[in-house]
Structure formats: structure tokens, C-alpha cells
Amino acid sequence: MPKKVIIAGGGTGGHVYPAIAIATGLKAKFAEVDVLFVGTEKGLENDLVPKAGFELKKIRVRGFKRKLSLENISTLKEVALGGLQSLALLKKEKPDLVVGTGGYVAGPVVFFASMLKIPTLIHEQNVKPGITNRILSRFVDKVAVSFPDSVKYFPKDKVVVTGNPIRPEIVLTEKSRALKELGVDKEKPLVLSFGGSQGALKLNEAALELIDLIKEDSTFQLLHITGKKNYDDFISKLEYKGINPSGLGHIKVRPYVYEMHYAIAAADLVVSRAGAITIAELTAAGKPAILIPLPTAAGQHQDYNAGFMRKNGAAVIIKDRELSGKKLYDTIRNLLSDRNTLVEMSKASKKLGRPDALERILKEIISLID
């Protein structure tokens, strides 16, 4: 049984949420295990990890600019300091295992753990891996990937396809209960649109136009999530158009949905970005999707995630630069009017889902410790 596990990962939710899922799974299986997170001062881990009930240690590290820059000189100093901090932390804590879930912080912690002969595992969330995990794969004991298409980027003798760990309620929530909880009409299809936990301005702009187009057309229902910081502005723009969404029964606008499993379970079609966690949750629930990859995502990883979904018949893609309310409206109507296609997309999505991803990852962790 492991006594102490260090999990290094941070920056974005895509790195932090899988880390928390792994930590929670370890605690459920081994009540006495001590899980310590390592992150940075600025990442989402500062908010999410303590809320999940885990201790967070911070080190100084940041990534290099892709172009020649004087800033890279100061980055070298940060990297050196981060390396020394990682080494000191590992020698002090003496973990039985170190897990890296991505982000710059995983680099020095996982690398020095491997140098100290501590068992190491990295988890890659996206179809196309980031540079940190590609480098680390040469040193670690095991590489867990979320998509079969990722295998080619890593050493064959180390890589295993596990999937992305997700919240169990995504799979367990029944559609009938979700419809009731959300107050949605079960007789009409529901379209769920969101841009991630922070919202997406481009998607919000398209949604404003879409709502204007469907305000008197209730053939389908829309639940749009703006993101907390965008909600007031979004409602103001609707009111400027003379639209009061609370007075339209088939349109619901929310700043944030804490119980997202209800929204996903209730949806007949999802419009979203193509982040790794979003893809994992949609496929586990078997939901067809219209994906708008974020063009500024590092290494264009959302384009690869969305491409994987489209290649397997689970999604259609609208390029960010081509997105408009009219384009979205036409795509939604075409899909909802072709019930057979929507059913086939749903089946394809479900086939890609890996609801047992957490158990697969825990199995690999236990094998490394044993």
C-alpha cells in the first residue's frame, strides 16, 4: 500500500481536474495514503486543490517562449530554482510514487523523481501531447494516455490507453432526473452550449445571435452557459435586443452550472470547445457534439481532440473563424432534423467513452508500487 504519493500538475483545469480525480480515487482505495500536490503560484490548482481537501506545495517554474526572447534568460533562472526546489521536496517527502498530469510544474518534479529512482507515471489528457510529457516519457516508468491516437507519440513499452478520469455522476445520472432537475420540457430536444468553466467570448457572441433567431422558434430548447464573468454583459446585450430570456420558456441562460452532470445528461446535442475533459465527459455520456476548437490552445491540441471525435463519427466541427449564430443555427437544425444521424453520432460517442478511466489509472499506479 502506498504511504505517500506526490501529484504534480497545474496551470489549467485540464491538468488539475484529472489530478484531483486520481488523488480522490487513491484516497478512496487507500484511506491512509498521504497525497501531496505540487503546483505553481498562478495556476488554477491554487483554488481547486485546497477546495478538494488536499495539501498544495508550490515551486517556481515557467515555460520558455517559443520564439527567441530575452525573457527566456530569466526563465532559465526560474527553471533552475524550480529544479532545486523539486529535488529538495522529493528528498524531504520521500514519496512512494510521483504522478505528473501536465503543465510546466510536472517537468522538474517528475524528472527528478525518476533520477531518484522513485516510481513515476505521467498522464496525457489530449490527443496530441504537450512538449513536457513528450520529454518526460523518456524517463518515466509508465505513460497513461486518454486516446488511442496518442500512443504513437510515446515509447511503446511504457504507454497504456486509460482514458481521462471523470466525475462518476457524469455516467450515473439518468436523463429523466436531469430533465426534472433543470425544469426542461421532455417533449422537445435540448441543446446545451458552453465554453468551459470560464466561458468563451466567441461562443457567447454566436449564442446571442442564435437566441435572436430562435426567440420565436421553440422547435428545440437551448441551455446556454455564459461563464460567470460574462453573464451580466450577455444579459445586457439580450435586453438591448429586446429579449428577456426569463420570459422565454424554451431558452435558459445561466452564468455557471455547478451540477454539470445534469446539463450533460439532459442534452440531446452539445455545443462546446474541444478540451480534453469536455471530450471525456461527452463520450462517457454518449453525447453527439458540435465542437468549436479553441484556436489559441497550446499546440492546437483542441483541433486534434475535435478531429478525433469527427473521424469517429461523434461530432461535427465548426472552425472558430467561421462561427456565427446563423452557422450554428443551421448546423443545429440539420442535426436535430435528421434523427438517424443524431442517434448514430450518439452511439459513436458512447463507443469512444472510457468511464472506467480512473480505475485503469489506479491499476497502473498500484502495479508500479507493487
**DSSP conformation letters of 310-365:** HHTTSEEE--GGG--HHHHHHHHHHHHH-HHHHHHHHHHHHHH--TTHHHHHHHHH
pLDDT at 299: 79
The C-alpha cell 442564435 sits at 210
pLDDT at 11: 85
Q: CATH classification of 169-352, choosing from 3.40.50.1240, 3.30.300.30, 2.30.30.230, 3.40.50.2000?
A: 3.40.50.2000
| 312 appears as a binding residue in the annotation | no
Q: pLDDT band at residue 70, thresholds of 50, 70 and 90?
A: very low
The pLDDT of residue 343 is above 60: yes
**Mean pLDDT score of the chain, rounded to an integer?**
91
| 331 appears as a binding residue in the annotation | no
| 230 appears as a binding residue in the annotation | no
| 197 appears as a binding residue in the annotation | yes
pLDDT at 61: 75
Q: What are the CA-CA distances from residue 40 to residues 4, 78, 103 (Å)? A: 20, 12, 10
| 167 appears as a binding residue in the annotation | yes
| 310 appears as a binding residue in the annotation | no
Q: What are the CA-CA distances from residue 352 to residues 163, 277, 282, 308 (Å)? A: 9, 13, 9, 10
DSSP-based three-state secondary structure for 8: strand
| 13 appears as a binding residue in the annotation | yes
Please report, for the chain, the start and end positions of each structural domain, with discontinuous segments joined by +.
4-165+356-369, 169-352
Read off the pTM: 0.88
The CATH architecture of the domain made up of 4-165+356-369 is 3-Layer(aba) Sandwich (3.40)
pLDDT at 1: 66
Burial 32-43 (b: 16+ CB within 10 A, else e): ebbbbbbbbeeb
Domain 4-165+356-369 and domain 169-352 have a common topology:
yes
Beta strand 4-9 with 97-102: parallel, antiparallel or unpaired?
Answer: parallel
Q: pLDDT band at residue 77, thresholds of 50, 70 and 90?
A: low
